[in-house]
Amino acid sequence: MAEQLRLMAVHAHPDDESSKGAATLARYVDEGVDVLVVSCTGGERGDVLNPKLQGDPEVERDLPELRRKEMANAAAALGVKHHWLGFVDSGLPEGDPLPPLPEGCFAAQPLEIASAPLVRLVREFRPHVMTTYNELGGYPHPDHIMTHKVSVEAFESAGDPTRYPDSGEPWTPLKLYYDVGFSRGRMTAFHEALLAAGKESPIGEWLKAREDGTRPPEREITTRVNIVGWMDRRDEALRSHATQIDPDGWFFAIPNDMQAQVWPTDDFELARSLVQSELPEDDLFAGIRDRARV
Annotated binding site for Zn(2+): 13, 16, 144
Q: If you write DSSP's letter for every residue of 41-105 in order, what string do you get?
A: E--TT-----TTTTT-HHHHHTHHHHHHHHHHHHHHHHT-EEEEEEEPP-----SSSPPPPPTT-
- Which H/E stretch holds residue 266? strand 265-273
Calpha distance 149→280 (Å, rounded): 25
Amino acid at 52: K
Q: Which residues are registered as beta bridge partners of 175?
A: 129, 273
Q: What are the Cα distances from residue 217, in Å, to 140, 141, 183, 280, 286?
A: 14, 18, 10, 19, 26
Residues annotated in the binding site, as ranges?
Answer: 13, 16, 144
Q: Report CA 39 to chain centroid distance, whole Å.
A: 9
> Among positive and negative, which fits the CA dihedral 81, 87, 88, 90?
negative
- Is residue 132 helix, strand or coil? strand
- Is residue 294 helix, strand or coil? coil
Closest CA to 140 of 214, 48, 30: 214
Report yes or no: 178 and 132 within 8 Å, Cβ to Cβ.
yes
- Pairing, β 265-273 against β 223-226: antiparallel
